[in-house]
Amino acid sequence: MPLRIGVDLGGSKIEILALAEDGSELLRQRIATPQGDYTATVAAIAALVEQVEDELGQRGSVGIGIPGAESRHSGLIKNANSTCLNGKPLRRDLQALLQREVRLANDANCFALSEAVDGAGQGAAVVFGVILGTGVGGGIVIDGKVLTGVNSIAGEWGHNRLAGEESFWPACYCGRRGCVETFLSGLALTADHERINKTVLTAEDIGIFAAQGDAACEATLQRYEARLARALAQVINILDPAVVVLGGGLSNLDRLYTNVPHRWGEYIFSDHVATRLLKHRHGDSSGVRGAAWL
């Protein structure tokens, strides 16, 4: 039975997962990511793969989800917030150690693939997977395959400018201002509440207090929902997906799945919007599952 091995390379942890051919989980393990050390990170990934194969007695395919992208031009990693990866030939180095093909994809693409294959978007021809967490990412899956794009940036909606917010352009780490990420990440939600109310609350607390009737927190979430509706409407107008699946910490705000579709219709070029907004099925496991499905 073919063995699929997925690795989720994050800034703080490396998670490995082995799946059987039918998608059932055989083994899972996590270790801390060597901080700022590229060579140690590559060695740690290779050692995890070899350990899993020794334990299961099988050799498998290997997919890696990374917090960045592989340049089609140079083969080097770019746009990674784990900066030690940038400019490095990660695929080449891993293939040399593991002596086989290794497939790389952006972690948001892995999330989208997992949810499209056997998650909330299962059976949909076009799925847009959204990460609403520390950052804002996206991935596109068409007929079960990840769309990477000629520049390896397909799905990067988080670095489009958010229309309708021209009076206030927060700075983004990418060097631009007013990116979707600066309005819709967890940190952005906290910053927006602080800017208006002069009070620092976590995104989780804002959700809790709004549910308890706090007017200021309710207003913050309504601003967030309006922005999310506008941002997703831009994606829907271009991609027209059957399903949009939300992941990341803010995806646990259950009110989004009702309120955002009620708002996005006024920005979408259609008399009726059939796109469904759904919560992830696999949660934090989606990234590593998607890497295995690569």
DSSP string for residues in 102-137: EEEEEHHHHHHHHHHHHSTTTT-SEEEEEEESSSEE
Amino acid at 64: I
Give the chain's domains with CATH numbers. Answer: 4-100 (3.30.420.40), 111-285 (3.30.420.40)
276's enclosing H/E stretch is strand 276-279
- Considering just the CA atoms, what is the radius of gyration of the chain in Å? 19
Q: Distance between CA atoms of 68 and 82, rounded to whole angstroms?
A: 8
Rounded to 5 degrees, φ, ψ at 177 are -125, 150
Amino acid at 232: L
> Which residues lie across from 78 on neighbouring strands?
69
Tokens 């089609």: give the residue: 72
pLDDT in tens, the chain (294 residues): 589 999 999 878 899 999 998 889 999 999 999 999 999 999 999 999 999 999 999 999 999 999 889 998 999 999 887 889 999 999 999 999 999 999 999 999 999 999 999 999 999 999 999 999 888 999 999 999 999 999 989 999 999 999 887 777 899 888 899 999 999 999 999 999 999 999 999 999 999 999 999 999 999 999 999 999 999 999 999 999 999 999 989 999 999 999 999 999 999 999 999 999 999 999 878 889 999 998
Contacts of 76 by beta carbon, 8 Å cutoff, 6+ apart: 70, 86, 87, 88, 89
Would you state the torsion angle of the CA atoms of residues 246, 211, 189, 128, taken in this order, to the nearest 10 degrees?
10
Inter-residue contact 290 to 114 (CB < 8 Å): yes
Rounded to 5 degrees, φ, ψ at 246 are -100, 140
